[in-house]
Structure 1
């Protein structure tokens, strides 16, 4: 499998080498909650949930939340965060799973995509995009935070990451307009302490 292995991610979490982790929920999440895009009773999936910072505010807002991560150390930390918040697994469940293999038992209302796509090697992007489309209900929303982490070596054709740079043209190809409704640009960019930024884009699955 191209890209980082499970051992790579396990070592990062065990040693605290997680520079992508903000240490708190992403600021854009609250904006989407305030805008009514995430409503009580909605089922929402957080693939690549890491330490699970977003799981607690989503569950407290009344959504039915499931986080996925295939790194054992991340799953342990996310579950501990949910338990410390006094939430039951029926409100916020955390599952150890490979997003390229996992299948939803029923279609979802919302998917919160923040750190999973940029953590996957580009060789796996098409397969992951197909998974997202399969998991989501027609009319459901993919709330995407697309990492802008361009490196100078890209001019030489090098692929470096994680995080991998999510060029908006590549993202448009992954989520084409015959399957997804796109909002008109420009898209809000949220700065990251590591010098990166994330574009906030909400896609709607076409029926």
Structure 2
């Protein structure tokens, strides 16, 4: 039993690291193979491919808090492969649509104050920089106040799953689930009281402590929000 719990925790840590880091650096080009996604409760026949700009917008908005979806801005790659503004917004959220050229599904939504940080990640990735280079360069730029991450506590919401298929009637994506990130630059376990790894599935923990990218990870269990 103890070994089973340890294996579950390890899977959660690896899944959390992969999806959040990919999202942060694509918020540039997301989608890594995940462990388990929530089972589909609906008839699979109700789902269809996400194959239009309208569907990209609709499914991207699912990453935002429900009360904020109507006013959220949506950016990302359109079906023609161009990175564009898919929909203008009026509130504090920027949503990143799923990339049609990537396997699986991964949309994200973050506070607009994080946009300079996210845009810089997209820029560096487009230049061919590695994940390690992007981390180091943004670390230096945040420390020197050249790059802003907004106020501590800015959030990133991730909605991801193994299939880029959705139900047009409900808007839900097949097998998708949520993850939440709260950025706390330079926070540590000591300054927050949070552990550096989850003590049980879906418990909050702090990742990348002591760096510009320190953040609280919250991963609800499959099927929960």
Same fold (TM over 0.5): no
> TM-score normalised to the size of structure 2?
0.26
> TM-score normalised to the size of structure 1?
0.27
